[in-house]
Amino acid sequence: MVAIATAGQQLHHAIIENHLWHALPSYLMVFFALWWAWMNFSWFASAYDNDDALYRCLTFVQIVGSLVMAAGIPDVFRSQDFDIIIVGYVIMRLALVTQWLRAAKHDPERRVTAYRYAIGIVLVQIGWLVANFAHVLSIPLFLCLVVFELFVPIYAEKHSPTPWHPHHIVERYALLTIIVLGESIVGSFNAIRDALAAQSINIPAVFLMIGGLMLMFAMWWAYFDRSEQHHHFKGVRPFVWGYGHYFVFVSIAAVGAALAAAVDVTTHHAHISDLYMGVIVAVSVVLYTTCIWMLYEFECLAGISKWFYPITALIILCIPFICNNVGYSVFAMGIVYTLRLFISNKFIEDIEPKQV
């Protein structure tokens, strides 16, 4: 997860330099590459992880690829140079192709599916390499290649679905959620540490720290505040659930980067206003809230409880325009999000003593 942390750091620096709109496309593109490589590995592992020596070696190759990607992230944000990150991405993807070819050899029933995966991935990697090193890679072309990447599993699984395990997939996604939340907290901590070292901590910064921790706690609780029925993708198709988590992860990392940047704003080490910073935090939190609502609550809840998330999102969006200091704004957001937990019937049920 070094690569995700690096992307978050680059977004943090872009925010405080008031270069958000220049850096945002780079952040979304880089995060897609990181998430997509991780996601494909996770779903493959759920179906075909035999933990033998060759599997471990190929996994190590993918780890090397992720480190190469991490090394190339600063170049993307600085000069839109994708050379290193695409090399790392292709290393990861070609290692996965080898694993799919192994699966084709040992699973005759799903051999066609495995070959579809392998051939599809190779073709798209050729597209990435040609587009980048022929210097024709643009945002529209990037989006076209993303569509092809997303289409490969849909096409492959139509022949004969791979034997992935729902509980295993849910666990993998939950672990990445915790990791990204943790890295976001670490990023905020580093900003606070720098402020303490510079002796520039003030009262708004203290409110920001408390509010930021409350937000992270509430976001963590919101993700895991779901019943067993969600573990079976009730009401949501697996592809929608799996692909939709891109926005969950990207918003969590964005909240972390925004909170770290907010520390710089409260200590007067940034080039943006409190209002702008508050809006960035609010939009990141609302994106996360909307994703959780659509993936876990919209199809499974009824009555007024179904609308807790939209109401919470609306209130959070209004807060930066009411509070004229980002520290107080984040504190208010943390209060609102935490109150949502207390209002929720699920929270009340969870804090009651369990009958043994």
pLDDT of 353 strictly over 60: no
The pLDDT confidence band at residue 227, using thresholds 50, 70 and 90, is: very low
Q: Phi, psi at residue 233, to the nearest 5°? A: 55, 40
Q: Which residue matches tokens 């958000």?
A: 20
Cα gap 338→345, rounded to integer Å: 13
pLDDT in tens, 79-96: 899 999 999 999 999 999
At 229 the pLDDT is 47
pLDDT of 11 strictly over 60: yes
Cα gap 74→85, rounded to integer Å: 10
pLDDT of 228 strictly over 60: no
Cα gap 191→197, rounded to integer Å: 10
At 166 the pLDDT is 86
pLDDT in tens, 152-198: 999 999 888 899 888 889 899 999 999 999 888 887 777 777 777 76
**Cα dist from 304 to 8, 179, 244, 257, whole Å:** 36, 32, 24, 33
Q: How many residues does the chain have?
A: 356
- Specify the higher pLDDT residue, 311 or 342: 311
- In this structure, are residues 33 and 10 in contact, taking their beta carbons and an 8 Å threshold? no
Tokens coding 31: 């995060």
At 301 the pLDDT is 64
- Specify the higher pLDDT residue, 293 or 246: 246
At 350 the pLDDT is 54
Cα gap 257→251, rounded to integer Å: 10
Q: Which residue matches tokens 């918003």?
A: 251
| Mean model confidence pLDDT for the chain | 87
Cα gap 137→197, rounded to integer Å: 42
At 297 the pLDDT is 72
Q: Phi, psi at residue 301, to the nearest 5°? A: -110, 160
**Mean pLDDT across 279-291:** 93
pLDDT of 101 strictly over 80: yes
pLDDT of 243 strictly over 90: yes
pLDDT above 90: percentage of residues in the chain: 56
- Give the domain ranges of the chain: 2-159, 166-350
At 27 the pLDDT is 94
pLDDT of 230 strictly over 70: no
Give the count of beta carbons closer than 10 Å to the beta carbon of residue 350.
12
